[in-house]
Amino acid sequence: MGCSDVKQFLLCTGDVTKNLKSGIWNASRSVSNLELIKALENGSLQELKNTRDMVDSQTKIFVAPNDSLQNLDGKADDYEIIVKLFFLDGKNDSLNGRRETTDQVFFYLSQLFGIHSVSTLVASFPHIVFSKEGLNSSSNSRVYSSIDEVPQKEIQSWIDTWKILEEKIHDGKVKTLGVSEFGVPELERLIPNVEISPESTQVNNGGECKLPSELTKYAEQKHLKIFFHSDPSILINEDEITEVIRHAWPNLPARARADWVVRYTIVSRNTSVINRKGYLVKASLL
C-alpha cells in the first residue's frame, strides 16, 4: 500500500473515563472540546494494522493502545447507548455524503464494539447555535446569527438528513432521535416536515439553569425533552486534527480536515454505572 493511496483516517480515542489526564475531568457547563482533544493527544494513538477488512486500502485506523476494543458485556438492552453524531462537513452537505457518513458510523460501531443498535442518536448540524446572543451577521462566518440567515438549501438538508436517520429507526438501529443546538425557530422548520419527531433537543445556554420560556413551552407542547451539553460549534479544527494525525503518522503528506465525529456513551440502566465513553473521528486529507 503506497502512502499516496491513503486519503482517509479513522481515529478511535478508546475509553476516556479511566485515566488522570483525561479531559473528562474538565467537564463543566462552559463550551469546550478538551475531552476530545486530550483523548486524541494523550492517547498515543497507534495504527491498527489488522483492520479485519473494516476499511479499504485508502483508510488508516488509529486506536488508543491500551484500550482493547471490546464488545459489551451482557444484554444490549441493559445499556443505554447514546451516540452524538457531529456532521462537520461544512462545505459538503450533499445527501450522499450524509448517507455515507451515517452508514459508516453504524458500520464502525458494530465492527469495533459489537453495537448493533443505539438508544438515542443525537444529530449535530453545522453552523447552528442555540444561544444567539452577541452574534451578528458579520461576527462569525461559521455560525448563523438568526434562522433568517440560514439558506433554504441548508434547511432542506436538515430535513433530508433526518429522513436518513429515520430509516435507521425503521431498521431497528436507533430507538429515538435527538437534535443539538436547535431552538424553537430551528425546530419549527424541522418538525412539521419530518415523519418521526426528535424526542429531545440539547442546548448550551452558558451554564444557566433557567431556560427561555419560549423553549420550555414549545417543548411541553411537542413532548420534547431538553438536555444541556457543552460542545463547541466547531468540535475540532483543521490545525488540531492535522496535528493529531501527524503525531500518530509522521508521514502525513498534507493537512487534514475532520468530516464527522461520533461520541458514544454507554451506561448500565440497572446500576447507572458508566461502561465507557469515547469518540470516533473520521478525517480526510485536504
Q: What residues make contact with another protein under the rule CB under 8 A?
A: 17-21, 24-25, 27-28, 66, 78, 82, 200, 209, 211, 225-228, 230, 265, 267, 269-275, 277
Helix 95-113 and helix 152-170, axial crossing angle in degrees, nearest 10? 40
**Residue with smaller CB distance to another protein, 50 or 271:** 271
DSSP string, 196-241: S--SEEEE--TT-SSPPHHHHHHHHHTT-EEEE----SSSS-HHHH
CB of 17 to another protein, least distance (A): 5
171 vs 208, beta carbon nearer another protein: 208
Nearer to another protein, 54 or 226 (CB): 226
Q: How far apart are CA 270 and CA 160, in angstroms?
A: 36
Nearest to 133 by CA among 148, 146, 124: 146
- Given the complex with another protein, which of 104 and 230 has the nearer CB atom? 230
Give min distance, CB of 233 to another protein, in A: 19
Residue 210 CB, shortest distance to another protein, in Å, is: 9
Q: How far is the CB of 157 from another protein (least distance, A)?
A: 26
- Minimum distance from residue 278 beta carbon to another protein (Å): 11
Nearer Cβ to another protein (82/109): 82
154 HSE (CA, 13 A, CB side): 17
Consecutive H or E run containing 161: helix 152-170
Picking from 189, 84, 115, the residue whose alpha carbon sits closest to that of residue 146 is 189
